[in-house]
């Protein structure tokens, strides 16, 4: 007569090991995903010029692929934005082009320095006004940030 108790006990033990292995794999994948997300988040902020973090959301401006070779391209996308202090007054420019660019304010109030492909620059605007910026390498690339106060009057 077969020993069913022993067979059930062995299968239960194997099931527990299988569940533990699956849990370990899921935990490992979750940790890797978190690490990758953190690297992506912080790598893009190597060029940060922000002293105030009161902005509730970040506005992104892209430097599209081909911007450095096509004078008919807008360069910065979108080229003109309006932000509100305390709401969305932090802007992040991301270089998706294959060549370096800059985000340089005409009035000298901010400058990204050299942004290699894949790099980004973050700036928080704390004073209302109109800020025109250019790429010092590509004269056709120009953008504008209009900063308004969150209080009216």
- Residue 86 CA: distances (Å) to CA of 43, 54, 119: 25, 5, 25
pLDDT recorded at residue 54 = 54
Mean pLDDT of the chain: 81
**Burial of residue 135 (number of CB atoms within 10 Å: 0-12, 13-18, 19+):** buried
Q: Is 58 helix (H, G, I), strand (E, B) or coil?
A: strand
In a shared domain, residues 53 and 126: yes
- Residue 54 CA: distances (Å) to CA of 59, 84, 85, 113, 124: 13, 11, 8, 24, 9
Tokens of 134: 């250019």
Q: Where is mean pLDDT largest: 6-15, 66-75, 110-119? A: 110-119
pLDDT recorded at residue 39 = 45
In a shared domain, residues 34 and 58: no
Mean pLDDT of 137-153: 89
Residue 55 and residue 86 in contact, taking contact as beta carbons nearer than 8 Å? yes
Residue 80 and residue 143 in contact, taking contact as beta carbons nearer than 8 Å? yes
Boundaries of domain holding 21: 1-43
Can you give the pTM of this predicted structure? 0.65
Give exposure, 59-71, as e/b (b: 16+ Cβ within 10 Å). Answer: bbbbbbeebbeee
pLDDT recorded at residue 142 = 97
Domain with 75 in it: what CATH number? 2.60.40.420
In a shared domain, residues 65 and 133: yes
Instruction: Render pLDDT for 47-103 as a digit per residue (tens, 0 to 9).
Output: 444 444 455 799 999 999 999 999 988 899 999 999 999 999 999 999 999 999 999
């Amino acid at each position: 007569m077969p020993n069913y108790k022993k067979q059930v006990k062995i299968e239960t033990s194997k099931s527990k090991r299988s569940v533990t292995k699956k849990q370990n794999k899921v935990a490992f994948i979750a940790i890797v995903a978190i690490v990758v997300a953190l690297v992506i988040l912080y790598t893009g902020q190597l060029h940060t010029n922000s002293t105030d973090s009161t902005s509730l959301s970040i506005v992104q401006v892209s430097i599209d692929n081909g911007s450095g070779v096509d004078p008919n391209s807008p360069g910065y996308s979108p080229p003109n934005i309006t932000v509100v202090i305390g709401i969305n007054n932090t802007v992040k420019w991301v270089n998706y082009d294959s060549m370096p660019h800059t985000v340089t304010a005409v009035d000298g109030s901010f400058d990204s320095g050299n942004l290699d492909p894949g790099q980004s620059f973050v700036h928080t605007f704390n004073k209302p006004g109109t800020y025109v910026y250019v790429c010092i390498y590509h004269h056709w690339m120009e953008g504008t940030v209009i900063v308004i106060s969150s209080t009216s009057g």
